[in-house]
Structure 1
């Protein structure tokens, strides 16, 4: 399966991914940024990287290993990646944090790097993620416009908020201990694996048909 921890910066995605993976068997963990982020990285770049990681997940899939990936691509981008239907299962979790905590974390992690406008952009991106996780019809232009032309958006454009395939786990890390959040990620993965094995995973094989 392909597991994705998504969300805006400083929500705790990477920390949770590596900690959860240490508790689980047959899962490889990676972060999108581990390959480096070029100056001026945009949607086009993010879309191509999403497809690259989906293909990496397919390589792991052939070995009987799941991929747990942290990065900022939301569910809509994962589903639109050209190779996504070849995955035997997809599950996405939005790792979120309240705006004041995100601002504080950004200032602590990268002192002086971000001006007010840049930090506001991170907070705005987080707010969009929350709405997208609940409703596929909410501002799809945010990820579609000026994107990589190979993306297959019509796989899900037209779905509504009640479609069972449109499912993103929500994890708010605000004022919560890291271990508690890791527990939730671990339990989420266990539940998604069980649903997949039982044939109940809504984004299992054939979801795009």
Structure 2
């Protein structure tokens, strides 16, 4: 299974991954895009999406060994993972790390990052978690040509579109890592929302 931890800048994705890996056994491999290949000088949307496909293929290889890939640390939306060319061959679960606007502003200020763009992206991710039809051009514009946006662009909200959302506003780094580790276990056990391989075909056929 591919276990995607998504979220805007400064919500704690990398920190959560580092803490979670200490709590998970060796059936879980963890990665971020920078660990899956060289980083170009200019990181475009198309580059990010192509690297997500690399992550998906790694998850497929791990699945053959009875293992899973935890991908966290980068602002990868759920829709990008689902649209990766090989994503129809692997179960995918996604967890959005979210913050209150006040907490997010404080973290961005501490890191010296711009607030407007990052909070706008956080708001989009929040809406995307529940509605695949909300401004899909946020990820489809200037995208990698191999992406399969037809799997979800144009869909209305429905029970098949679901991910876990964790509000980390009042949680410390270790608590977030513990929550992410627990989410990983629940997703693998079928106790958290999961997009099964080929889910979009089943939805089209009304299953």
Could you list the runs of 5+ residues in structure 1 that have no partner in the other structure? none
Pairing 1:97-108 to 2, within 5 Å after superposition: 97-108=99-110
Does residue 1:83 correspond to 2:86, yes or no?
A: yes
Task: Compute the displacement of 1:36 (Å).
Answer: 5.7
SS at match of 1:138: coil
Name the structure 2 match of 1:51: 53
Number of residues of Structure 1 aligned to a counterpart in Structure 2? 198
Structural RMSD (CA): 2.1
Per the alignment, residue 74 of structure 1 pairs with 77
Give yes or no for the alignment of 1:31 onto 2:32: yes
Matches within 5 A, 1:118-197: 118-162=114-158, 164-195=159-190
User: Counterpart of 1:166 in 2: which secondary structure?
Assistant: coil
In the other structure, the counterpart of 1:6 is 6
Q: Tell me, what secondary structure is at the counterpart of 1:53?
A: helix
Q: TM-score, normalised by structure 2?
A: 0.86
Residue 29 and residue 134 in structure 1: after superposition, are their counterparts in 2 closer, same or farther (change >3 A)? Answer: same
Cα distance in 1, alignment partners of residues 176 and 154 from structure 2: 33
Pick which of 95-104 and 20-29 moved more: 95-104
Displacement of 1:201: 6.3
Cα deviation, 1:72-116, whole Å, max 9, x if unaligned, reads 1111111100000111x110001122333333323433x5xx4xx
- Alignment pair present for 1:206 and 2:198: yes
Whole-angstrom CA distance in 2 between matches of 1:79 and 1:192: 16
Contact in 1 for aligned 2:19/2:178 (Cα 8 Å): no
Aligned equivalents of 2:164, 2:170: Cα separation in 1 = 18
Secondary structure of 1:195 counterpart: coil
Counterpart Cα distance in 2 of 1:206 and 1:82: 12
What is the TM-score normalised by the length of structure 1? 0.85
